[in-house]
Amino acid sequence: MIDGSRMIEGYGVRRSWTRRVTARESPLRRLDWPLMLAVAALSIFGAVLVWSATRAALTEQGSDPQSFLKRHLLNLVIGFVLGGLVAMLDYRLMRAYAPILYVVSCVGLIAVLSPLGATINGSHSWIVLGGGFQVQPSEFAKVGLVGLLAMILGEPRDGEVGPGQRDILLALGLAGLPAVLILLQPDLGTTLVFAAVILGMLAISGVRKAWLVGLGAAAAGGGLAVWWLGILKPYQIARFTAFANPAADPRGAGYNARQARIAVGSGGIFGKGLFEGGQTNGQFVPEQQTDFIFTVAGEELGFVGAAVILILLGVILWRGLRIATQAADLFGRLLATGAVCWLAFQTFENIGMTVGIMPITGLPLPFVSYGGSATFANMIALGLLQAVHLRRTPFD
C-alpha cells in the first residue's frame, strides 16, 4: 500500500530542489523586472534631458554639444555594471563587510575636509582625481550607512522583539559621525537624507514609538542649534529665507526657485517640445542638468512628461517597498527599507524644491540627474534591492 504522506513529502523535497536549481541557473529571470524597467526608462529620460539642458550652452562655448551626454551615458553603463555586481552577491554577506564599508566611507568624508577636498558649487564635498574626474564620498556614505544600520538593528538580542537600547544608541552614535562630517562640508541636503534613512530604518526595526518621537524632537532641536551656532553658510540660510518668502529677493537667493517655477509652469500640458524650451536653452535655471533637471522635463515635456517621470519614480519606490515586505529576514528588510527611504526622500526634496514646496538643498533627482558619484550610488542601491529580492526565501 502506498504511503501518501511519504509521497507528499518526497514531492515537496523534489519541488524545492528543482526550485533551487532553477533559481541558480536563471537569476536574470528572477529579477524584479518592473523595477529594472522603471530604472531603465528613467535613465533614458534623464539622458535626453541632460542632453537638452547642456547642448545650447556647449554650442555657444564652441565645445562638443554632446559631451555631457557622452559622459552621462558612460556613467550609466558603469552604474548598471556596479548595480549588477551588487545584485549577484549574497546580501547576507554584507553583515561582515558593513563595518569595512562604514570605515572607508568615513575616511573618504574626512579626506574631503582635508587639503585633498575641493569646493564645487559652494560645497566642499569633492575629491578631484584629475583628468576631469572627481568623486563625492558623501554619496557612497549612504551605502555605508544603510549597511551598518541594518547590521546593528537587524539582529535583536535573545528574548527581544526589536533592537535594545544599547543597539539603538550604538546605531545613532555611529550614524552621527558621518552625518556631522557631511554637515561640516557643508552639505545640508545629504545630511537630511541621512536623517530620513535613520528614522525609516529605526521604525521598521521595531523600536518603541517613544524613541521615534524623541528623535524627531532632537532633530528639531539640532536644526535650531545649527542655525544659531552659525554652522550653515550664509547662502544656505538665504535659501531657507527665500523658501519662506520667494518674493523677498527674486534676483538673489530667490532667483533659482523663481526661475524653476517659471520653467515648469511654462510647459503647459504637453510642453514646448524637446530642445525647444526657452528657459532651458537660455540657461536661466542654474544647474539644470543636475539639481534642477525636473525643470527641463516640465518645460519641454509638459505636465504629461513630468507625470510619466513621477509615475516611474513611484514604481521604483513601490517595488522597493514590496521587496522589503517580502525579505527573508530582518536584515534584508532593513537594507531594502534604507534604500527606499534614501531614494524617496531625495525624490521628494528634489521635485519639491523645483516646484517651491521645499527649500533648495542641492540634491539630484535619482536615476535622472547628471552625475557620476550619485549615479553610481543610486545603482548600488538598486543592486541592493535586487539582491534582497533574489534571496527572498531561505532556499535562495
Mean pLDDT by 10 residues, the chain (396 residues): 46 46 65 96 96 91 90 96 94 90 94 86 78 86 96 75 83 93 88 93 86 79 68 65 64 77 91 91 88 95 96 97 94 96 96 88 93 95 96 70
- Tell me if the bond preceding 186 is cis, omega within 30° of 0: yes
Which cell numbers hold the place of 3? 504511503
For residues 370 and 290, the answer to whether their CB atoms sit within 8 Å is yes
Q: Report how far residue 332's alpha carbon sits from residue 338's, in angstroms, rounded to the nearest whole number.
A: 10
pLDDT of residue 283: 85
Q: At what angle do helices 293-300 and 255-266 cross, to 10 degrees?
A: 30
Residue 185, pLDDT score: 86
pLDDT given at position 239: 66
pLDDT at 62: 84
CB 134 within 8 A of CB 127: yes
The set of long-range contacts for 214-217, using a CB threshold of 8 Å and a minimum separation of 24, is 215/172
Q: What is the pTM of this model?
A: 0.88
Rounded Cα distance, 79 and 40, in Å: 11
Strands 117-120 and 123-130: antiparallel
Distance CA 124, CA 184 (A): 9
